[in-house]
């Protein structure tokens, strides 16, 4: 459980960057930009690890699409994920 202080900090981060586009639970702590597509990813500290290791869970993969990301972006490319079921095909974790 979060302490009052941790919650306060998380709420402030959430105000700044919004919710993580991958898990939809944690406050986004980082914004990284895909240099090819110019798309920005707003993710929490946990999901950045999944994203750059092409190891998103199916739930997180589809959350990224719902957040407006495209399967044509490098990090979500079909070499890395089965687009139908969201399964990571070359997970590095
Ligand atoms: Zn997250």
**54 CA → ligand 1 middle, Å:** 14
> pTM for the full model?
0.82
Q: Is the pLDDT of residue 14 over 50?
A: yes
Q: Is the pLDDT of residue 79 over 90?
A: yes
Beta bridge partners of 45: none
**36 CA → ligand 1 middle, Å:** 22
Residues with CB under 5 A from ligand 1 (ion): 20, 22-23, 26, 44, 47
Question: Can you tell me the mean pLDDT for 2-31?
Answer: 75
Delimit the domains of the chain by residue range: 4-76
Give one DSSP letter per residue of 23-74, joined into a string: TSSSBP-EEEE-TTT--EEEE-HHHHHHHHTT---HHHHHHHHHTT--TTSG
Report which of 92, 49, 87, 35 is spatially closest to residue 22, judged by C-alpha positions.
Answer: 49
- Tens-digit pLDDT profile for residues 32-50: 888 888 889 999 999 999 9
How far is the C-alpha of 72 from the C-alpha of 24, rounded, in Å?
Answer: 21
């Amino acid at each position: 459980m979060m302490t009052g202080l941790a919650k306060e900090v998380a709420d402030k981060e959430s105000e700044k960057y919004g919710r993580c586009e991958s898990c939809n639970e944690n406050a986004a702590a980082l914004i990284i930009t895909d240099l090819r597509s110019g798309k920005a990813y707003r993710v929490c500290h946990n999901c950045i690890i999944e994203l750059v290791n092409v190891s998103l869970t199916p739930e997180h993969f589809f959350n990224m699409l719902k957040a407006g990301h495209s399967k044509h972006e490098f990090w979500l490319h079909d070499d890395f994920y089965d687009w139908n079921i969201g399964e990571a095909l070359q997970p590095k974790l």
